[in-house]
Amino acid sequence: MGNSSNALLRHRTIDACLRDTKNKYTLLDLINACSQAIKLKNGNKSGSRNKVSVRSLQLDLQIMRSKTKGYGAPIVVYEHKYYKYKDPNFSIQHAKVGKENLLSIAEMVDTLKHYTSFEELSNLRNITEVLEEEINAKMQKRSSVVSYEEKRNPLGLEYFDTLHDAIINRKALCIGYYSSRSNNIMSIIFYPFYLKEYKGRWYALGYKDGLQGVYKLPLDRIRDYSYSILPFPDEYTFNPDEYFRDIIGVTRLTGEPKEIRFLVKNKLAPFFKINPIHHSQKIAYRHENGDYEFTVNIIPNREFYNLIFDWQPNIQIISPREVGISANERVTEIADQLPDYSLPKPKEETQDENSWDNGINLFSNL
């Protein structure tokens, strides 16, 4: 299992190097990169076992090129010493997993499944069940009978390992990313510290050269990268517990947390009771009709307002007033962008002005 794991790690490391179009990699460079990757995995105590031999690296390249045993990788040598992919868009991550590899994965999942009986790892049970069914379906060449929510934004995940390595080893990256504002590819020097998933989208958090404060970079915006020669400043630190403690999502704005009180309609209240929007959520009051009032202590950000909008018309902000006004402004902004339907509207029945469904009102009692 260990040798198989190391071989896959070497293949992924070589793949990352050959996809790096801004640097040149000799055989020695690939050996050093693979040795470093194994060293990070096994630790310094492994000593000489971390060192990859020339023979092993050459066999890796041969296997990766093979269409039957490997990935059919279009690896070429140019200038008689440097390695790269003939097709710059190629990656072994797009290749199909062979039967031998599926058997190895099945063995690992089976081992992991036994450990999920321990309470400390019980949150992995659902993951192992899905993995087991997915692997069995592949091996039996049938459709899976288990469905799970797929990533809505899978783009950019090919850079996950590169960013993870840069975080662990404190490497500065020169990243080309797509800017929606300028509709152009922008280049930045980025010092990554943390990877975070939110609603199916991965973000890298770190520092952007020339900009103060934590910068969040969606992985799906990345188009290319190279390693920067700039040193990673020692004073650059990141505390994830402190950063995420008072927010929902990944955007932390300036200011102190506020106690936000909101009312949830009775049909949605049970869901909010067992699925709090933040760890600080508390029940503040229960109305006779089944409506609930909750409080959270957070710094309101875009993700919070999006969440409030998503649950309309079953939720309204009670206080503070400025948070309710901001939520209303967001609803108004979205409503103004809706098409103007010219069909005549049926005459609506008069409702009591205090009725819950009497128009859009995200905050009340202000």
Q: Are 65 and 57 in contact (CB under 8 A)?
A: no
In a domain, 240, yes or no: yes
Distance, C-alpha 235 to centroid of its chain = 26
Q: What is the pLDDT along the chain (366 residues), one digit of tens a residue?
A: 445 668 888 999 999 999 888 889 999 999 999 988 888 777 655 555 678 889 999 999 998 998 877 888 999 999 989 999 999 889 888 877 777 677 777 888 888 877 777 777 777 777 788 788 888 887 777 777 776 666 555 567 788 888 888 888 889 999 998 887 778 888 889 999 999 988 878 899 999 988 888 899 999 899 888 888 888 888 888 888 899 999 999 999 888 999 999 999 998 888 998 889 999 999 999 999 989 999 999 999 999 998 888 888 888 899 888 888 888 777 677 767 777 776 666 665 555 545 445 444 555 544
Same domain, 233 and 268: no
Does residue 320 have a cis peptide bond before it, meaning omega lies within 30 degrees of 0?
yes
Here the CATH number for the domain that contains residue 220 is 2.30.30
One domain, residues 90 and 10: yes
Residue 250 inside a domain? The answer is: no
Which amino acid, residue 232? F
pTM across the whole model? 0.62
- pLDDT score, position 45: 53
**Residue 287 falls within a domain, yes or no?**
yes
Which residues face 285 on adjacent strands? Answer: 293
Q: What's the DSSP call for residue 22?
A: T
CATH number at residue 318: 3.30.70
**Residues 89 and 169 both lie in one domain:** no
Kindly state the tokens that stand for 72: 């059919």
User: DSSP E strands: which ranges in 220-359?
Assistant: 222-227, 258-264, 282-286, 292-298, 315-319
Do 71 and 6 share a structural domain? yes
Q: How many Cβ atoms are within 10 Å of 84's Cβ, its own excluded?
A: 20
Q: Are residues 239 and 271 in the same domain?
A: no
Number of domains in the chain: 4
C-alpha Rg value of the chain to the nearest Å:
26
Asked if the structure places residue 293 within a domain, the reply is yes
- Mark 96-106 as b/e (b = at least 16 C-beta within 10 Å): eeeeeeeebbb
Q: What is the per-residue pLDDT for 203?
A: 92
Q: Which two tokens stand for residue 306?
A: 């999006």
Q: Are residues 103 and 90 in the same domain?
A: no
Q: Same domain for 164 and 232?
A: yes
In a domain, 351, yes or no: no
Out of 218, 244, 270, pick the residue that ends a domain: 244
Q: Is residue 149 part of a domain?
A: no
> What tokens were used for 184?
């152009």
Which amino acid type is present at position 266?
Answer: N
pLDDT at 245: 92
What is the predicted pLDDT for the residue at 76? 93
How does DSSP assign 165-222, residue by residue? HHHHTT--EEEEEEETTTTEEEEEEEEEEEEEEETTEEEEEEEETT--S-EEEEGGGE
Q: Which domain holds residue 122?
A: 99-139
Partners of 82 in beta bridges: 78
Residues 87, 8 within the same domain: yes
Residue 364 lies in a domain: no
Q: Which residues share a beta bridge with 225?
A: 175
Q: Write down how long the chain is.
A: 366
DSSP three-state, residue 317: strand
> Which residue matches tokens 């505390």?
239
Instruction: Specify the pLDDT at position 348.
Output: 58
Tokens of 250: 């990944």
Instruction: Write the CATH number for 40.
Output: 1.10.10
44, part of any domain? yes
Residues 6+ apart with CB under 8 A from 16: 33, 161, 162
